[in-house]
Amino acid sequence: MVGTKSDLSRTTLPRRQLGRALRDARQASGHTLEQVAEVLEISRSTLSRLELGQNEKVKVRDVEFICQYYGLSEDRTEYLKTLVTQASTKVWWQDYRHLIRPGFNTYLQLEVAATELHFFQSLVIPGLLQTAEYARNVETYTATDTVDEVNRRVALRVQRSAILTRRHKPVRAEFLLHETVLRTVVGSNRTMASQLRHVADMGTRDNISIRIVPFTAGFPAGLAIPPYIAVDFPHSEPPVVYIEGAIGTMIFEEDDDIRRFRSIHDKLRCAALEEQPSRDLLRHIARRYEQ
């Protein structure tokens, strides 16, 4: 598990991939951090940060030297060198960097590289499904920014949602929304009616599944579950689970943690309404807001 906000703000997906690959190669060769650090004449903490994906200034020649020491093939070495280049490449949301909460930059890296996303949300409509008006009200409640900064945050959310609607390989996404989300008024009744109709319409897309966990389901997993996002990647990159709270962000990536979240998600899915009844409920509540 990765826990502190400062750690997360320095981590990107290419750095994580590079770090994990170097850690696996070191362990496969039977070396400890101390042994490798001594041979390569670097500090143990520097090597540890590299393996955790927290080293912001990674040099291609250093990675090449490490790969040679581990006896990696030329093809494998070239692949890891490309990850170094990707880690320093400007991402599309770079212009919004001053508006992004600590740790959320890491999630954006995960989101843009994902092949599948699995959400559970019990508090608010997920950002990828938010209308501009709903998002503007959320940002107004949670931030002390100027009107221009709020508008830019809204623009970021709208731009992110393109991964669900683009023509070429849109991301597959499953959203399990607790009924509380639908009943919590953000902005005005008119805003909520438009938002819920938008969610229902998005649920008709082939790559998107939206299901409501009703009040009558109680606690399907046996306890109250915080909102989370499970992220799956291509190229055998291990999945992660992202959790964001008011005072911190966590990423779970250990196998046992992932299995536990998969089990929780399965229980929530079993308790949720099917897709069509979920859309019917969304539109029914939208009509109530319009009355």
pTM: 0.74
* Range list for CATH 1.10.260.40 in the chain: 11-87
In the chain, % of residues over pLDDT 90: 42
249-290 pLDDT per residue, tens: 788 888 899 999 999 999 999 999 999 999 999 999 999 999
11-87: CATH architecture: Orthogonal Bundle (1.10)
Fold of 101-129+165-290: Endonuclease; Chain A (3.30.870)
45-67 pLDDT per residue, tens: 888 888 888 777 788 888 888 88
* Range list for CATH 3.30.870 in the chain: 101-129+165-290
DSSP the chain: -B--HHHHHT--HHHHHHHHHHHHHHHHHT--HHHHHHHHT--HHHHHHHHTT--S---HHHHHHHHHHHT--HHHHHHHHHHHHHHTSPPGGGGGGGGSPTTHHHHHHHHHH-SEEEEEESSS--GGG--HHHHHHHHHHH----HHHHHHHHHHHHHHTHHHH-SSSPPEEEEEEEHHHHHS--S-HHHHHHHHHHHHHHTTSTTEEEEEE-GGG--TTSS----EEEEE-STTPPPEEEEE-SS-EEEE-SHHHHHHHHHHHHHHHHHSPPHHHHHHHHHHHHHHHH-
